[in-house]
């Protein structure tokens, strides 16, 4: 069993049929299909919107493959009612939350609390402005404890450069979206994982892969140690993540947890 927890449709020039064929070809059994709304609200970016309707349509057409997630604009008065409506239609999780607010904005916290009540894991993208990447989504990881304190029932799954670069204790001294070289001890991310059992990590995209691959001495032991809280995902149509995991020398138990068991425990496969 292999579950990819981070994918989109109508994305990278590929339709739902293209993505379904791709996942079947590379041996992925289930896919969390994420919506992505609102990135362009305050500023244009190159990102495209992936609507809830497109996600639900794909999940209806490929019910044995795609597990639908929804996303909303937290500042809308009926944001929580929108989520409830998508849950009634079969939605199993919330995300990708990629919003131009601080992660601890009260409107976002209200949405996260509602997701906890409904049993929906929350998958968020985090970016901060850096010389190499002028992005701004859900700033920033240091604010996350304030969120978690207010959302004890919610499962949070982090993703993106501003999440993963904090794997290293010297993140503040290396102003890059994708830092290279040795990971130093005392990173904010490992500290938060130690403190908050409801925090998980999404390995997808360049951010997750870079973080666990940049230091061969650090990456595989990190994956092994936190294997109950790390989830395989891609965001793209390559196989670099699974190839890395297969070559990382993980115990069979850790490999199984990362590649599907953790995902199944958060969103049971029907």
> Which residues here bind Zn ion, judged by CB under 5 A?
96, 235
CB 3 to Zn ion: min, Å:
16
Tell me the CA end-to-end span of the chain in Å, nearest whole number.
13
For residues 103 and 138, give the distance between their C-alpha atoms in angstroms, rounded to a whole number. 4
Residue nearest to Zn ion according to CB distances in the complex: 235
Q: Which is nearer to Zn ion, 104 or 235 (CB)?
A: 235
CB 139 to Zn ion: min, Å:
18
CB 233 to Zn ion: min, Å:
8
From the CA atom positions of the chain, what is the Rg in Å? 17
In terms of C-beta distances under 8 Å and separation of at least 24 residues, what long-range contacts does 213-216 make, across chains too? 213/244, 214/179, 214/180, 214/181, 214/182, 214/183, 215/181, 215/182, 215/183
Q: Which is nearer to Zn ion, 54 or 96 (CB)?
A: 96
Burial category of 114 from C-beta neighbours within 10 Å (exposed 0-12, middle 13-18, buried 19 and up): buried
H or E element, residue 85: helix 79-88
Would you list the DSSP string of 194-208? Answer: HH-TTEEEE--HHHH
Q: Which is nearer to Zn ion, 166 or 235 (CB)?
A: 235
State the residue for tokens 């909303």. Answer: 72
Burial category of 79 from C-beta neighbours within 10 Å (exposed 0-12, middle 13-18, buried 19 and up): middle
CB 149 to Zn ion: min, Å:
27
Q: Which is nearer to Zn ion, 123 or 148 (CB)?
A: 123
For residues 92 and 225, give the distance between their C-alpha atoms in angstroms, rounded to a whole number. 28
Q: Please name the residues in contact with 91: beta carbons below 8 A apart, sequence gap of 6 or more.
A: 52, 56, 68, 69, 70, 83, 120
CB 116 to Zn ion: min, Å:
22
Q: Which is nearer to Zn ion, 96 or 224 (CB)?
A: 96
CB 94 to Zn ion: min, Å:
13
Asked whether the beta carbons of 267 and 67 are under 8 A apart, the reply is: yes
Q: Which is nearer to Zn ion, 54 or 235 (CB)?
A: 235
Q: Which is nearer to Zn ion, 139 or 157 (CB)?
A: 157
Q: Which is nearer to Zn ion, 96 or 140 (CB)?
A: 96
CB 204 to Zn ion: min, Å:
7
CB 235 to Zn ion: min, Å:
5
């Amino acid at each position: 069993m292999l579950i990819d927890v981070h994918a989109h449709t109508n994305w990278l020039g590929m339709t739902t049929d293209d993505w379904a064929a791709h996942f079947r070809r590379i041996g992925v059994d289930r896919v969390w299909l994420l919506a992505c709304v609102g990135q362009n609200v305050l500023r244009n970016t190159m990102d495209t919107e992936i609507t809830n309707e497109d996600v639900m349509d794909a999940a209806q057409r490929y019910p044995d493959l795609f597990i639908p997630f929804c996303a909303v604009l937290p500042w809308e008065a009926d944001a929580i009612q929108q989520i409830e409506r998508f849950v009634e239609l079969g939605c199993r999780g919330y995300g990708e939350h990629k919003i131009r607010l601080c992660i601890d904005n009260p409107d976002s916290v209200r949405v996260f609390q509602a997701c906890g009540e409904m049993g929906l894991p929350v998958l968020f993208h985090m970016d901060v402005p850096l010389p190499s990447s002028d992005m701004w989504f859900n700033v920033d990881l240091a604010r996350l404890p304030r969120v978690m304190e207010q959302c004890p029932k919610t499962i949070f799954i982090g993703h993106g450069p501003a999440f993963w670069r904090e794997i290293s204790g010297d993140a503040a001294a290396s102003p890059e979206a994708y830092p290279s070289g040795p990971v130093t001890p005392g990173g904010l991310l490992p500290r938060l994982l130690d403190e908050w059992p409801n925090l998980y990590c999404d390995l997808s995209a360049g951010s997750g892969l870079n973080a666990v691959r940049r230091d061969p001495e650090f990456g595989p032991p990190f994956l092994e140690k936190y294997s109950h809280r790390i989830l395989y995902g891609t965001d793209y149509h390559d196989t670099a993540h699974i190839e890395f995991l297969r070559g990382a020398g993980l115990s069979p138990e850790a490999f199984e947890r990362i590649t599907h068991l953790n995902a199944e425990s958060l969103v049971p496969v029907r």
